[in-house]
Amino acid sequence: MCGIVGLFLKDPALEPDLGRLLADMLVVMTDRGPDSAGFAVYGGGDAGHLKVTVRGPRLDEVEDALAGIARAVRRDTHLVLSFAVSFEEQVRGWLALHRPDLVVTGSGQRIELYKEVGLPRQVADRFALPAMAGTHGIGHTRMATESAVTTDGAHPFSTGRDQCLVHNGSLSNHRSLRRRLEREGLSFVTDNDSEVAAGYISWRLREGDSLTTALEAGLEDLDGFYTFVIGTENGFAVMRDPISCKPAVMAETDRYVAFGSEYRALVGLPGIEQARIFEPEPAHAYVWERN
């Protein structure tokens, strides 16, 4: 069992509150996933700059070594490096050479991605999620059933620039799909089936699909059960498997679109009493995008 929450803001006035709202939603889903949690927030960013979130020990060393080219913001076990796109090769090269032990959790113009083992409340507080601003965010609380409780196994997974995915469910054909995607040039950090799903969507987007057609293609290629919530630089999407094995409820108002594994997660949102509450249909791609 896992818990998923997602919040996509339409009203810019709510952007300073994104982290606070998302943190509250995440904590309500503790019952569904008490062993680890993670979230991606789409905050500020410039077109000419790249943000790379890395996770691991001895982050001071990274900060110092890259001080000349990257601005670093430290949050507990994670470090967000921001630098001009022209420095990308240099930054990634340094990381690969000097600190191969670090994990890049996500990168893009706006995404920041954090995950850790522990209760969702603790994870949210360690990274100061309540104080984060942004346009949209996705969170996940994990109850590991088939693999170890590790930070690597926590969601979200990011396999493309400004892309991330959280998953409730499990896939049966992730081994064969992984081999197919590796032949297409994708690489994976973990053995997790959800990372393969994220990679699949990244691959479809790379091949020119829209979010909608990428998710529809997944109906054919992904075998298993799933509720996915997906973030892109300007988009937010939801897809459930054809028998809607895993729960999902959504709320939409003029100000936001919100997703929760259970309605309880949505209770604290502003104006929830007037929101349109609905259950996403199975095998139907729901996509919202900002212009």
**Other C-beta atoms within 10 Å of 127: how many?**
24
Strand-pairing partners, residue 114, are 39
Residues with Cβ < 8 Å from 136, sequence gap 6 or more? 6, 7, 8, 9, 18, 41, 42, 231, 236
Q: Which stretch binds another protein (CB under 8 A): 65-73, 76-84, 217-225, 257-265?
A: 257-265
Residue choice 267, 287, 288, 290 for contact with another protein (CB under 8 A): 267
Question: Identity (one letter) of the amino acid at 133?
Answer: A
Cis bond upstream, residue 156 (ω within 30): yes
Q: CB 9 → another protein: shortest distance, Å?
A: 22
**Three-class SS state of 75:** strand
Residue choice 249, 284, 288, 290 for contact with another protein (CB under 8 A): 249
247 belongs to the binding site for another protein (CB under 8 A):
yes
Name the active-site residue from 1, 2, 267, 278. 2
What are the strands of the beta sheet with 78-84, ordered from one edge?
71-75, 78-84, 49-55, 103-108
Q: Which stretch binds another protein (CB under 8 A): 43-51, 113-121, 165-173, 262-270?
A: 262-270
Residues 209-228 that bind another protein (CB under 8 A): none
Residue choice 101, 208, 243, 291 for contact with another protein (CB under 8 A): 243
> Tokens 């062993």 correspond to what residue?
35
Q: CB 32 → another protein: shortest distance, Å?
A: 11
Known catalytic membership, residue 2: yes
Residue choice 92, 99, 264, 290 for contact with another protein (CB under 8 A): 264
Taking the least distance from each CB to another protein, the nearer of 101 and 273 is 273
Residues with Cβ < 8 Å from 60, sequence gap 6 or more? none
Residues annotated as catalytic are 2
Residues at the contact surface with another protein, assessed by CB under 8 A = 243-244, 247, 249, 262-264, 266-267, 277-279, 281-282
